[in-house]
Amino acid sequence: MTAPTAQESPRLIPVARGNLPALGHAYQLWRHTLPFLDSLRSYGGVVRINIGTLPVYMVTDPELTRRVLTSESRYFETGGRMGDNLALIFGNGVGTINGAGHLRQRRILQPLFNRSYITAHSDVLADAVRGRVSGWRDGAPFEAAAEMDRIMVAAFLKTLFGPTLPAPREEEFYRLLRTLMKGVMRKTVAPSWANRVMVTANREFDRALARLRGIVGSLIREGRENPGTVGGVFQAMLAARDPDTGEGMTDAQIVDEAVTMLGTTGEAPGTALAWALHEISRNPGIQRRVQSEVDAACWGRSPAHADLASLEYTRRVLTETMRHHGPGYLFTRWTTAPVDLGGYLIPAHANVAYSQYIVHHDPAVFPDPQRFDPDRWLPNALAVPRSSYLPFGLGSRQCLGENFSWTAMLLTVAEIAGRWDLHPHRNRPVRPVASTTVRPHHLTLTPRARTACPAA
């Protein structure tokens, strides 16, 4: 079946300015990521950029982005430049597989990520967060992006494998994932010829991938041979069955899914948390409001899942963080046939990209989009179309880890707010740097133990 083609003459798809010989737009995409993405909106709903000599059709219009992810998603399969590189890590996990295989894996995994399941495992998650945050030293600066990554990796590892996973293994998982996710973005935005000459970086990537998949494979064998030695979601994955056929997952499928979960639930929430702490630390009014709300809900004890519903302002801070500093800035798809997308005719087997950053900074939807304002998310304050806010995607491929991420981020901010005042360390400018996510560079914070909070 082919996609519908335009009945009238298709719109011309312009090529963005700044196309360099051999590099295309790769330099701008890598070195000036956010200003470059912002500039693409001025070309219209679809604009062509080049990575080396490879054409990529960037969708900039929120409504057209929604169609790519929902009503016309059958013509836009997961893949393309970034999707293919992620598949190097995730294999045939639910995040990279298409067609019937994707539907089957999603049916099996969905129950493990619903609200009730996450609630049942939230104590383990909260303990992991508390263990890290309580270990900070008064007045000792920390690098926020790395620390939040470690917190999210630790929280998800203990949720995934159970609370007995040794700390050295947690640190190894963290280092391996950082190497792999940085490598994915390098492979995505660099021209093909440049990737071929990055011999040392490619070897590090391959070694990290083999080690990560080897560790998860050994945990699977241990879990099958000695049930109870691993717990959490991982044990449930070993026992999970397709509701239609009753079949479970093979060991290879479980490796793919576990690695997919590790790769998608660590760095993105960690990056979002780092940006949230940046805004909290440099805006005393926001910090006081978050702390007051946490104090009223928890009264000096560590937050629990039952407290999260009371943290309305804290949730708005995180909602605005994921709009203003959304971790995901570039995602790709692969067209299965020629597609008429809003009058733009995109050829078959083409790389199509969309950007949460472009959508989230559309001034037609978000007035003064460069301003950080949690109160723009007050009830009835702003009518935002569903297609204009997509931190976890849309449609049949919407992130399975959304409930986990929200729970983990709220618990982390609440744990920090209840214990610490945060202050920027020196006046070093913080700038966004593109990796797999847009991370804050030079974001160092100093925690000070709170003296004016309810007694435990």
Residues whose CB falls within 8 Å of the CB of residue 417, separated by 6 or more in sequence, listed in order: 280, 287, 290, 291, 294, 314
**112 touches 397 (CB < 8 A):** no
Q: Structural domain boundaries of the chain?
A: 26-449
Residue type present at position 318: L
Whether 317 has a pLDDT exceeding 50, the answer reads: yes
Whether 453 has a pLDDT exceeding 60, the answer reads: no
CATH class, 26-449 region: mainly alpha
The pLDDT, as a whole number, for residue 121 is 81
Residue type present at position 188: T
pTM of the model: 0.90
Q: What's the mean pLDDT in 184-192? A: 77
What token pair was written down for 70? 């929902």
What pLDDT, in 10s, does the model give residues 336-394? 999 999 999 999 999 999 999 999 999 999 999 999 999 999 987 778 888 899 999 99
Q: What's the mean pLDDT in 183-212? A: 82
**Burial degree of 72 (CB within 10 A; 0-12, 13-18, 19+):** middle
Confidence of residue 274 (pLDDT cuts 50, 70, 90): very high
Whether 92 has a pLDDT exceeding 70, the answer reads: yes
Average of per-residue pLDDT values in the chain: 88
The crossing angle, in degrees rounded to 10, of helices 144-161 and 402-419 is 120
The pLDDT, as a whole number, for residue 294 is 97
Lowest mean pLDDT among 16-20, 52-56, 128-132, 429-433: 429-433
Lowest mean pLDDT among 11-15, 27-31, 316-320: 27-31
Confidence of residue 272 (pLDDT cuts 50, 70, 90): very high
Confidence of residue 6 (pLDDT cuts 50, 70, 90): very low
What pLDDT, in 10s, does the model give residues 391-436? 999 998 888 888 889 999 999 999 999 999 999 998 778 888 887 7
Q: What's the mean pLDDT in 142-171? A: 86
Confidence of residue 101 (pLDDT cuts 50, 70, 90): confident
**371-382 burial code (b ≥16 CB/10 A, e <16):** ebbbebbeeeee
Whether 455 has a pLDDT exceeding 70, the answer reads: no
Beta bridge partners of 334: 77, 351
Of 210 and 194, which is predicted with more confidence? Answer: 210
Whether 146 has a pLDDT exceeding 50, the answer reads: yes
3-state SS of the chain is CCCCCCCCCCECCCECCCCECCCECHHHHHHCHHHHHHHHHHHCCEEEEEECCEEEEEECCHHHHHHHHCCCHHHEEECHHHHHHHHHHHCCCCCCCCHHHHHHHHHHHHHHHCHHHHHHCHHHHHHHHHHHHCCCCCCCCEEHHHHHHHHHHHHHHHHHHCCCCCHHHHHHHHHHHHHHHHHHHHHHHCCHHHHHHCHHHHHHHHHHHHHHHHHHHHHHHHHHHCCCCCCHHHHHHHHCCCCCCCCCCCHHHHHHHHHHHHHHCCHHHHHHHHHHHHHHHHCHHHHHHHHHHHHHHHCCCCCCHHHHHHCHHHHHHHHHHHHHCCCCCCEEEEECCCEEECCEEECCCCEEEECHHHHHCCCCCCCCCCCCCHHHHCCCCCCCCHHHCCCCCCHHHCCCCHHHHHHHHHHHHHHHHHHEEEEECCCCCCEEEECCCEEEECCEEEEEECCCCCCC
As a whole number of angstroms, the distance between CA 16 and CA 43 comes to 7
